[in-house]
Amino acid sequence: KQEVTQIPAALSVPEGENLVLNCSFTDSAIYNLQWFRQDPGKGLTSLLLIQSSQREQTSGRLNASLDKSSGRSTLYIAASQPGDSATYLCAVLKYSGGGADGLTFGKGTHLIIQP
Amino acid sequence: EAGVTQSPTHLIKTRGQQATLRCSPISGHTSVYWYQQALGLGLQFLLWYDEGEERNRGNFPPRFSGRQFPNYSSELNVNALELEDSALYLCASSLGAGSTEAFFGQGTRLTVV
């Protein structure tokens, strides 16, 4: 059974710092890995999608890497801003048997950027 | 372009009743996924519909069911509601099965009293 773990569970840093969020998964047979952002009580906003054949993706101040063999991904946020405060979720898409399992999510990292 | 839309935003039901949640995918997307986000449990995969058929379901009892209509919109039905069903229900859509990006709606907050 695929399990996704995110470390740390919570993080509070001053504005302007660069930071790294970590995600690990137990089964390396994945199709893709996606990073999401969730604001309190809201839906998920897709940040970055990394296909299993890719090593990294970049969007603005965000960079995500994937090491499928070791079952790890990192999300790097440069020059953090108070508006980055949210819960960041990592999810992997894996197939098993005759169909897709859907995305398996970690429990998230709750990020607070102090002004 | 409209994103994934869900209705209603909030729903309050009594234990034992039935709840119906609705989802409209992004135009052109044929796959719809349902997820439950209960407090303390994280996001869990419920159901996947593609081209009108149920393709897979997560580890949930049969009282969680749904369907996908010819226009690819979807409905999630929860029968015999229990207090533990209180959660944020999220719908996502993608272009189809496979390695494609999932886009999520804002969710329906179901409260069972």
pLDDT digit string, tens, across residues A36-65: 999 988 899 999 999 889 999 999 999 999
Beta-strand relationship, B53-57 and B42-50: antiparallel
Contacts of B42 in chain A (CB under 8 A): 105-108
Write down the pLDDT at residue B61: 96
Rounded to the nearest integer, the mean pLDDT of chain A is 92
| HSE (side-chain half, CA atoms, 13 Å) at B64 | 18
Q: How far is A84 from chain B (nearest CA, A)?
A: 18
Inter-chain CB proximity A51 and B102 less than 8 Å? no
Chain A residues within 8 Å of chain B (Cβ atoms): 31-32, 34, 36, 41-46, 49, 51-52, 89, 91, 93, 99-108
Q: Mean pLDDT throughout B89-110? A: 87
Q: How far is A36 from A23, CA to CA, in rounded Å?
A: 12
Lowest mean pLDDT among A65-69, B16-20, B53-57: B53-57
